Structure 1
């Protein structure tokens, strides 16, 4: 993949990714590279500053993925998966019917809303639980 800074005859500047330099040339020659602002196909490469010797910092998405992976690991190591019984088990613990312990599982949006309305401390996880009972 290659990224080019582009400029149209109207002076609009934009960037786009292409499979290769030759793929860009073929698309440009065929009139398939158009300005994102005005739609003209009279487009040419603009001057770009090369990235030479600069360390590339991890992207925010990479950092978020790592945080979510760490959260998943913590939850799976320190809580019990209860599957679709989550809402009832959380309510039972809140009401003192069963002892408090760390659990995770699935609940419908209505079940989760009802738990929150009743003061049961729950929150959604940013990942789908693995489909296994512990």
Structure 2
């Protein structure tokens, strides 16, 4: 038979434990005068809050939590990379292709002589790109695969 541990306080302020079958059992024992303080013998007692006794679980400790966290981070990073790639691909495809006139069109766009809401893309040499950058015009290389379907 399983017993529960209850904490009690007598009218004289003494704390003690009682081991009984149930919550109802202590009330019956107290009413019958069989529950008394072991220090002073006082029969007027009240039940006090008790902390439950919980046995420690064994054999269930996870050792792979760090691996789970790392896998979750990798999935989240992969999702962010896919989103960034899709946004870059859309921006490149939406940009107006100005072909070999890129250098002149980039300057015209930078100084406000022309307006292209979606931006521009085109061809230029690395020297032309450096020249534009030195003038404060942002230029970057875009991989050709961003223009291909299926990526």
TM-score if structure 1 supplies the norm length?
Answer: 0.43
Higher relative contact order (CA 8 A, sep 6+): 1
Q: Which has the higher helix share?
A: 2
TM-score if structure 2 supplies the norm length?
Answer: 0.39
- Give the greater-gyration-radius structure (CA): 2
